[in-house]
Amino acid sequence: MVREKSPYENTLETFDRVADLLELDASIRSLIKTPDRSLIVKIPVELDSGEIHDFKGFRVQHSTAMGPSKGGIRYHPDVTLDEIMMLATLMAWKTALFNLRFGGAKGGVICDPKKLSRGELERLTRRYTTEISTMIGPDKDIPAPDVGTNEQIMAWMMDQYSRMEKRAVPGVVTGKPILLGGSLGRREATGRGCYFTGLEAMRVLKMDPKSVRVAVEGFGNVGSITAGLMFKEGATIVAVSDSSGGIYDKKGLNIPLLIEHKQKTGSVLGFPGSDKMSKEDIFGVSCDILVPAALEASITKDNARDIRAQIIIEGANSPVTPEADEILEANNKFVIPDVLANGGGVVVSYFEWVENRQSFYWTENEVNARLEEKMINVFREVLALNQDKKIGMRMSAYMLAIRRLAEATQWRS
Ligand code: GLU
């Protein structure tokens, strides 16, 4: 039996394909292909029961060629070093694509945050921060939220690091609470960025946002914001799913009410007026736009053919496997790849980091306007390369990113 390739192995293969297209020479290839540094840490935490449990965590820095490395921290039971290496690589491409003076990084802890008490989460976060403190810092490597983490986790990380440094260091993490130096608009930035790229894609395909039907996989920080903005725009959100299942309403779901329902009950299920469906059914729903905004590899060779949507906005990182990608390509889907679609998060993280350095904070309108400008410009750059080379939006985005990373590395070699 042929062993399935891991997410990181797939990413390395993609890198090789892009490097071939760019005709990169062997020395630069090896300099930028794999992460610079990977740390595995043991995180002993006293649980509320009094028992000590050793959690395992990671921090991977892919590259620092263009500046300090940047990327989120994931708390999830399925976290592996392989996954974090893949995500750190994607972060390096993402920051390069958006022309931010950052490298890429990612961190993670194998845990189920939903099953930990607030005290346990705090102790875990503080100990993890201490364990990775040799790597992070406002001029070295700057964590942010990702799946399973939020502004509270960032507040504890900032506090722990500041205690160790014996001074306030707000710039060590982004995605913090506003009162601790977080940026207005950061929490919504990833979803808002997806929305801006979706609008651009509709412009290209001459689709009217008011008459499109949208399905969203994952109703967390990314999916719920994208759905909310599309709803405000007049689109019909016909289906939504989260980790407990999916719901459908042909007439359209009222997203602000659904957000309230999820806050109250913990899931989208049971929303008045909607029909229940399985998580998997979301991919076959009759719609124009599909937003995979959950975890990686949710669109596979087994469900890619079911997809009826014309536009796919990758809110999650790496939601489409390479085999599925070939099917989408063959079916002429317009895919807005992860590094482009969900780049709004790290763009506003960059704004937050700049605000922290200047100790001068922007209004929400300023943040959103600068985000919109950045998303549109980068989208158009990727589109132009795609129209020129006909290699698809994904390969175009990766080409722009990796070329920039290669050039920056060349300058420093
Ligand atoms: N976790 C987000 C991502 O995957 C944001 C990273 C950041 O802001 O540093 O892009």
72 C-alpha to center of ligand 1: Å? 5
Question: Cβ distance 183 to 159 under 8 Å?
Answer: no
Residues 88 and 135 in one domain: yes
Mean pLDDT for the stretch of residues 227-253: 98
Residues 123 and 197 in one domain: no
Q: What is the pLDDT of residues 151-209, one digit of tens each?
A: 999 999 999 999 999 999 999 999 999 999 999 999 999 999 999 999 999 999 999 99
Question: Cβ distance 331 to 309 under 8 Å?
Answer: no
Question: Cβ distance 356 to 138 under 8 Å?
Answer: yes
Give φ, ψ of 110 to 5 degrees: -80, 105
Which residue range forms the structural domain that includes residue 316?
189-332
Pairing of strands 52-63, 103-110: antiparallel
Any residues with CB less than 8 A from the CB of 396 and at least 6 apart, and which?
Answer: 382, 383, 385, 386, 389
- Letter for the amino acid at 184? L
Listed residues 332, 347, 364: the one ending a domain: 332
Residues 45 and 105 in one domain: yes
Mean pLDDT for the stretch of residues 231-236: 98
369 C-alpha to center of ligand 1: Å? 19
**Ligand 1 binding pocket mutation candidate from 61, 173, 346 (most atoms within 8 A of CB):** 346
Question: Cβ distance 93 to 339 under 8 Å?
Answer: yes
Listed residues 275, 305, 332: the one ending a domain: 332
d(Cα 72, Cα 342) in Å, to the nearest integer? 13
Give the closest residue to 235 by CA, choosing from 257, 217, 213.
213
pLDDT above 80 (res 3): no
Residues 155 and 50 in one domain: yes
d(Cα 112, Cα 148) in Å, to the nearest integer? 8
Residues 43 and 159 in one domain: yes
Q: What is the pLDDT of residues 362-374, one digit of tens each?
A: 999 999 999 999 9
- Please tell me whether residue 350 adopts helix, strand or coil conformation: helix
With bands split at pLDDT 50, 70 and 90, how would you rate the model's confidence at 71?
very high
41 C-alpha to center of ligand 1: Å? 21
- Letter for the amino acid at 109? V
CATH code of the domain in which 230 resides: 3.40.50.720
Mean pLDDT for the stretch of residues 62-70: 96
Share of the chain above pLDDT 90, in %: 99
Residues with CB under 6 A from ligand 1: 70-72, 144, 146, 174, 317, 342, 345-346, 349
Residue 355 lies in a domain: no
Residue 362 lies in a domain: no
- Please tell me whether residue 137 adopts helix, strand or coil conformation: strand
- Please tell me whether residue 62 adopts helix, strand or coil conformation: strand
- CA 253 remoteness from chain centre: 25
Q: What is the pLDDT of residues 278-312, one digit of tens each?
A: 999 999 999 999 999 999 999 999 999 999 999 99
d(Cα 90, Cα 39) in Å, to the nearest integer? 18
Residues 324 and 227 in one domain: yes
Residues 194 and 328 in one domain: yes
Question: Cβ distance 289 to 212 under 8 Å?
Answer: yes
Q: Exposed, middle or buried by CB within 10 Å (0-12, 13-18, 19+), for 145?
A: buried
With bands split at pLDDT 50, 70 and 90, how would you rate the model's confidence at 1?
low
Listed residues 171, 199, 226: the one ending a domain: 171
Domain count, the chain: 2
Question: Cβ distance 141 to 125 under 8 Å?
Answer: no
Give the closest residue to 92 by CA, choosing from 338, 298, 354, 384.
338
Closest C-alpha residue for ligand 1 atom 8? 346
CATH code of the domain in which 86 resides: 3.40.50.10860
The per-residue pLDDT for 2 is 65
Q: What is the pLDDT of residues 91-119, one digit of tens each?
A: 999 999 999 999 999 999 999 999 999 99
Residues 111 and 245 in one domain: no
314 C-alpha to center of ligand 1: Å? 14
Atom nearest to 145 CA in ligand 1: 1
- Please tell me whether residue 281 adopts helix, strand or coil conformation: helix
User: Does 106 participate in catalysis according to the annotation?
Assistant: yes
Q: What is the pLDDT of residues 114-124, one digit of tens each?
A: 999 999 999 99
With bands split at pLDDT 50, 70 and 90, how would you rate the model's confidence at 261?
very high
- Letter for the amino acid at 145? P
